[in-house]
Structure 1
Amino acid sequence: MERLEVESTSLIKQPKAVWAVFFASIIAFMGLGLVDPILPAIAGSLNASPSEVTLLFTSYNAVMAIAMLITGVISSRIGIKWTLLTGIVVIAVFSALGGMASDVWTIIGLRGGWGLGNALFVATALSAIVTLSGSGTAKAVILYEAAVGLGISVGPLVGGWLGAISWRGPFLGVASLMVIAFIGLSLLMPKSSEKASSRAARTSIWAPFRAMRYRSLVVLGLTACFYNIGFFTLMAYAPFVMGLDEHGLGYVFLAWGVLLAITSVGTAPKMQEKFGTVKSMGAMLFLFALMLLAMGIWTDTQWVIIATVIVAGALLGNNNTLITTAVMNASPVERSTASAAYSFLRFLGGALAPFMAGKLAEWFNPHVPFLVGAGFVLLAVLFIAINHKHVKHVDEVGTGH
């Protein structure tokens, strides 16, 4: 009991700057889930096909993947605080413009700008929490993933409510929430972290590419790339086959996000301690592949799709924490650089998956996107197993924290 109390205290007792980033991260990640319940509504209102609407995720993730490569260059020059604030402003501007747009292709372009803002915020938020936290890498990652989970879980509920009024509501809602995040971060994050960042060596634009010389980082990045194809197939295409309105989709993805949040904080660390990071990751990915396979077989059965989406949240929550912790311990490069290189590879999968899912459904039938997604997640399992010797050291490094 005594040991548990000490551990929980060390996670909760964080500098004010960490909590400022934590709460801003919740609001930033609400943006991802806010849009999910309104995808069918956008398609209906703007006379767009599902594959066109899924480009909202593709443009967002594609720009985010490329922008991840320059986040370290920017943050090492203007400081952690100003990089986070810049990201928030960019998200607010492009989401507000998206809410005022009148055709799907304009929104697709604006979502790319939103992705740029998110890249600046997300990559910096992770390295900021890890750097500023006094409780070690593993606990800092748990804190970050908790913020991600909370944001993703609350987002669809708010998106469903606002989306029931108008599909424009969630876009304008994100812009409003970003204003709150900007004020909170401006007031709560001290200037000392900014100064510490300015004294650090300036990151080269080539740093993420040089980091990819480490096999461990590339293995984890490509594993996440394949896994993200399954993840974003679920996120971007499942709403089209559920047959639910905005409120219904909001509640389903709320349940999904709640499980994601609980497992990322509650069960992932226990699994990591008992079975090891890589084995636990492989098990979660395999079970997620089975969920997608079930969605592909029983696509026409509404309750199966709803149940598998919700249950998948638990698997994704565990895996997100496991793989993020592994990346932070995988190579000797700076954490912000490792995060940028990894995120670039990861979001390439996120860029490919949504549009591919929409097109596969148009070319073949609604079953195929989920079956292909399951295939890519299984490929991630095989890839991590084949390259186990290059990543097994992450647990040895992790024990030092």
Structure 2
Amino acid sequence: MIDTLQQKRATRFVLLTVFAYAIGFGIIMPVLPELIVELEQVSLSEATWIGGLIAASYAVFQFLMGPLVGNLGDRFGRRPVFLASLAGFSVDFFLMGFAQNILWLFIGRSIAGALGAIFGPANAVMADISSAQDRAKRFGMVGAAFGIGFMVGPALGGLLGDIGTRVPFFVASALAACVFVYGLVAFPETMPASSRRSFSLRRANPVGALLSLKQVPGVLGIAAVYFIWVTSTNIYPVSWAYFAPIKFGWDSKMVGLSLTLVGISMALVQMLLLGRVVARWGERGAAIIGLSSATLSMLFYAFTNSALLTLVVCLVVGIQGMVMPSINAMMSQRTPVDSQGELQGFNGSLAALAALAAPLIYNTTLSYFTAADAAVHFPGAPFIVSSILAVIALVAITRLNTATALATE
């Protein structure tokens, strides 16, 4: 493990990068539909469908390329891979800002997805610089940095969008470029040459990574829980903006406020509560608490008719923010040092697959139960589905054998 000073520098850079990425991602959200309308001369409804395809292109390339990027990190170190991912996002936003037609948007998002996103390399760095027992807390810090940045991004994007539809894209690109330059100077390599392994093309794809990680005792069972949980929690980015207006008649400002409350709650939980819970009950205990809370929250959203109570629950729903870093830590603890990048790349592929499945599951369900000719009008139906998935993940994690020895310290 690298010395304390380098650990601090690496941590600072990772958190700054995730924070800046979250701001950049949030900045473009309010104006992307307008840009699609401008480029294609279509209605907002049609733009929504096109926007879904653009998001899918990102997810597809992340699914295919995540293990490749992770394996490259295990072979050549974290620094070049992390910086390449950051450069990819700067190029992505830049291309989207200059887009002359819709193809530019697809190319930009595909580049960003192919370079492995930010979370995989970020978590690989955190795994390098932390002990096995400290890993959930470190992963929680990454999640908190994203949550804080995402609170800032959409509001800033709305303000910049008043200046021009493309301005937010250029600001996001410039922000990523500035962090990239800072990383060239300040970001140390966190993976010693002695810990690296040879590159294998057979392992650098989703199937190869699956077969490789199958050899690591205990990892695939936890990975299955990870996939089920990510699919469950994807109901929020996929369906909340449609569910809340249908259920409560909220406008975009109220939807934004509710999501901001969730973001604040999750950031506070990951910064202040997660470490204490893990120290007391371990990673599995923290995940069980988070999954139990998530199940209750989803069932509440499914059946409530109170907009006020919904906002109150948004303030406490962040307890589920303990699930992802805890599950990730459980996998990371069991994975050898020279395969941490491969693991995070594989997790990225699972997350991308969940992101592709979630709209098909939740939006189709929401559309069916809110159609004018629906036999039963029930906007909360998608949350019933997501709560069932959360229960499956909860039952599975309580039955997992956690006696497997830790692979890394």
SS in 2 for 1:276: helix
2:389 to 379, 387, 394: 379
Structure 2 counterpart of 1:25: 18
1:342-374 Cα offsets, whole Å, 9 max, x none, are 332233112221354334444442887853354
Structure 2 counterpart of 1:204: 200
Does 2:325 match 1:327? no
In 2: Cα distance, 1:369 partner to 1:96 partner: 38
Determine if contact 1:156/1:254 at 8 Å carries over to the other structure.
no
Determine if contact 1:55/1:354 at 8 Å carries over to the other structure.
no
1:273 to 279, 286, 295: 279
Structure 1 counterpart of 2:235: 233
Structure 2 counterpart of 1:58: 56
1:86-144 Cα offsets, whole Å, 9 max, x none, are 11121111222223446667635542332223x25321221112213579534433433
SS in 2 for 1:267: helix
Structure 2 counterpart of 1:69: 67
SS in 2 for 1:15: helix
In 2: Cα distance, 1:319 partner to 1:177 partner: 30
- One-letter amino acid matched to 2:301: M
In 1: Cα distance, 2:274 partner to 2:77 partner: 31
In 2: Cα distance, 1:103 partner to 1:391 partner: 52
Query: Superposed, which structure 2 residues align to 1:313-392 within 5 Å?
Result: 314-332=318-336, 334-365=339-370, 371-386=381-396, 388-392=398-402
Query: Superposed, which structure 2 residues align to 1:76-225 within 5 Å?
Result: 76-101=74-99, 107-108=105-106, 110-117=108-115, 119-133=116-130, 136-163=134-161, 165=163, 168-190=166-188, 193=190, 196-197=192-193, 200-207=196-203, 208-209=209-210, 210-214=212-216, 216-225=218-227
- Rate the CA distance shift 1:337–1:235 in 2: closer, same or farther, 3 A: same
In 2: Cα distance, 1:166 partner to 1:374 partner: 40
Instruction: Give the drift of 1:26.
Output: 1.5
In 1: Cα distance, 2:28 partner to 2:316 partner: 21
- One-letter amino acid matched to 1:60: Y
- One-letter amino acid matched to 1:325: A
What's the TM-score once normalised by structure 1's chain length? 0.80
- Rate the CA distance shift 1:241–1:227 in 2: closer, same or farther, 3 A: same
Number of matched pairs: 385
Instruction: Give the drift of 1:182.
Output: 0.7
- Rate the CA distance shift 1:11–1:161 in 2: closer, same or farther, 3 A: farther
Structure (1 or 2) with the greater helix fraction: 1
1:312-336 Cα offsets, whole Å, 9 max, x none, are 3x13322222222222124446322
SS in 2 for 1:202: coil
In 1: Cα distance, 2:75 partner to 2:172 partner: 28
- Rate the CA distance shift 1:363–1:265 in 2: closer, same or farther, 3 A: same
Bigger mean CA offset, 232-241 vs 10-19: 10-19
Determine if contact 1:52/1:355 at 8 Å carries over to the other structure.
no
Q: Which runs of 5+ in 1 are unaligned?
A: 1-9
1:266-312 Cα offsets, whole Å, 9 max, x none, are 1122222333322331332232233233333358x654555544543
Larger Rg: 2
Determine if contact 2:299/2:387 at 8 Å carries over to the other structure.
no
- Rate the CA distance shift 1:218–1:91 in 2: closer, same or farther, 3 A: same
Cα root mean square deviation, aligned: 3.7
In 2: Cα distance, 1:206 partner to 1:339 partner: 17
Q: Which runs of 5+ in 2 are unaligned?
A: 204-208, 372-376
- One-letter amino acid matched to 2:198: R
Structure 2 counterpart of 1:5: none
Instruction: Give the drift of 1:238.
Output: 1.5
In 2: Cα distance, 1:252 partner to 1:181 partner: 30
In 2: Cα distance, 1:167 partner to 1:352 partner: 30
- Rate the CA distance shift 1:325–1:154 in 2: closer, same or farther, 3 A: farther
Structure 1 counterpart of 2:374: none
- Rate the CA distance shift 1:198–1:330 in 2: closer, same or farther, 3 A: closer
In 1: Cα distance, 2:166 partner to 2:101 partner: 12
- One-letter amino acid matched to 2:93: S
Bigger mean CA offset, 379-388 vs 255-264: 379-388
In 2: Cα distance, 1:233 partner to 1:104 partner: 27
Determine if contact 1:92/1:179 at 8 Å carries over to the other structure.
yes
Does 2:288 match 1:290? no
Determine if contact 1:76/1:197 at 8 Å carries over to the other structure.
no
